[in-house]
Structure 1
Amino acid sequence: MKKIYTNYLANFRGLSREIWLLSLVTFINRAGAMVIPFLSLYLIKVEGFDLPQVGWIMSCFGLGSLVGTYIGGRLTDSIGFYKVILASLFLGGVGFIFLQYLNTFYGFCIGIFILTLMTDAGRPAIFVAADAYSKPGNITRGIALIRLAINLGFSIGPLIGGLIIAHISYTSLFWIDGLTCMIASLGVFLLLQPKKQKDKSEEKPIIKKEGIPPYLNKLFILFFIIMVTNSLAFVQYFSVMPVYYEQAYFLSEDVIGWLLFINGATIVIFEMPLIAWLDRKKISKTMATFWGIFFLGLSFLVLNFTSWTGILVIAMLLMTLGEMIGFPFSNALALEMAPKGRKGSYMGMYSMSFSFAHLIGHNGGMNLVNSFGYFNTWTFFSIFLLFIAALTIWLYFLLKNSKTGNI
């Protein structure tokens, strides 16, 4: 056990102090993110909306994320990641607190749009910060540590959130989400100081743009399409799946919180050793993305095998395995494809892939379930992801022919 523990800690060595501080602030922020996993249930059970209405509200969630990540990417290139992260956290906290006072369909559409615009403006800035603060050769592990902090917070947050819903109320979550975002912004201000610019010559590599923008890079466009379509299925775990747990298996919010806890806890324990091991094996970042998509598709497929409640845990573990393999390497792949001076724009577009998924995925999933039921919906996503996995293999060969390395 001591050797296992020592080897686990070895995966974290060599990361910069700033990466650790960025991860701490990220953990504080995500630990309070209790509203999002239960938002669809809240809109149905408390506000009385039907599945198509919830789908449209979640589309506004995606639209706000899309606009926010675009603005955030541009602002990151122009004013720097530090200011963008700070403003995004604080304004997002204010948005969460005010969201609880909305009670109409159009009010929620507007409120969710504004909230996600503010919160997701910081997403590309986080990735660029990870690149800026990482030591040479540590970018993938730096991203993995930040993802570990996200998932540690995400595993604890829904667990506590489910208990709060079961024993207190839904509205308490809005206050907790808002206050923790504000605490995270204070943490950025106090702990994560911006990198000092010694002279103007150090600014030139950041401001001068080399290469072509992401929307003109054909290989990056293909990568973007793959990430959008993969994420269309992934976001079902944050909207349709909690409803599925409640309607098909009659699980309460606290039990749903425990299911979500499995996802975060598994990532916290196993992702860093897994990423370090794959890094040592020099796995292609593109092929790692392929395996992430493959396991996500398998997680939907097994749900149709049996009505046994334990299959929910198996599906969650398969999805988590795909998430642990796919997302850190796809983050690193996007950074590797970005030329100097355009990392903010490339990571903004990469983050926009998730925004597009939120825009289309929640609404599409809700309407698929409403029209065809859960069995046919899970079958559709399984076949859909199989096609996307094949598309990823095509990208692998295109990149292999275009440049060397383990991209």
Structure 2
Amino acid sequence: MRTLAPQVVGIVSRRFGDFDSAEDAVQEALLAAARHWPVDGVPDEPRAWLVTAASRRLVDLWRSDAARREREARVIAWEVPAYDPVDHDDSLTVLLLCCHPSLTPTSAIALTLRAVGGLTTAEIAHAFFVPEPTMAQRISRAKATIRASGEGFRMPSAADRDARLRSALHVLYLLFNEGYASTNGDAVQRIELSREAIRLTRLLVASLPQHAEVLGLLALMLLLEARAPARSDGSGALVPLPEQDRSRWDRFLVTEGLDLLRQALALDAVGEYQLQAAIAAVHDRAASAADTDWAEILTLYGILEEITGNPVVTLGRAVAVAMACGPRAALEVVDAVEDRLGTTHRWLAVRGQLLEMAGETAAAAATLDRAAATATNEAERRHLAALAARLRSPRVTRGG
């Protein structure tokens, strides 16, 4: 049913010219389907059923507004076709509209999950640990922002499409990351969010099968998601990449991810998502942590850092420097971005582990304690605190 959500939003919005009301009406139609289909059975034409239900809801909404009598008459006169041709699928238009550049990433993610993902407001609120009324307000403000922009329901112009697509890729990337490495909560990861990001990115690939960065983003997601079964142990504790049991990785996802990456790189338009996927591929191809080609990863991080200028990428490069050239050189890389990331748990965690590699046990423990105190995910906080406690243990000796 969720795969139909953006199609139905697109049909109703395109026919009636009102994305805001159409999106609300489709949400109610999806809820009605969730109630009736398990009892009555899935209709022969589920999309037409949803379009009809949403259209009737729009009539009910507009009927109470005297100023819209004329539009009401037009809606009532319209007959919903039993089947809408596949070439009228507006899923891409809906996604790009939800990722309007005037929206914050947080608002765009929420609106995308509702209009494209078909999730209820309650489900989205639960996923992001906020009250349902707060999430409802966030979605309402996002739609109001789009409405105020004066943009109708249509595919963006050619001049605007690339910028809008970059925004959509960023939103899907952030959604996946929130599932893969949860910002809050007790769990290491939230599969429901990362899998939803993958599903939505597959929709984008279906619409743009020759776009290198779209392919690259899906490849990155699959190559990382393949590790999900090994990223936590039976108690829910975080298992770092070098310690993961690689036999538990999903090799089907790895194979698909590598194939998508090959397709993307063959298009000769290398971008940041393809580079991140290429780094993930080096890890996924290695039979063990010891077999990892850190020189290749270091080269890829250097290119990625040059393209993005992102200090988080610099942290990743620092880890590669440590493995290829030693911890002292890596500490210099980390310290170069202290002014931008020095208060974050991610920077503190990387620096603490580099200090441990350099044999500075006491300083490493103190830094990891600070990282644990700053972390907002409970599983990550426990992991960092355990690392610090281990370093303070009498059994730990200094290394070289």
Q: State TM-score, norm by structure 2.
A: 0.26
- Structure (1 or 2) with the larger CA radius of gyration: 2
Q: Which has the higher contact order (CA 8 A, sep 6+)?
A: 1
When you count helix as a share of all residues, which structure comes out higher? Answer: 1
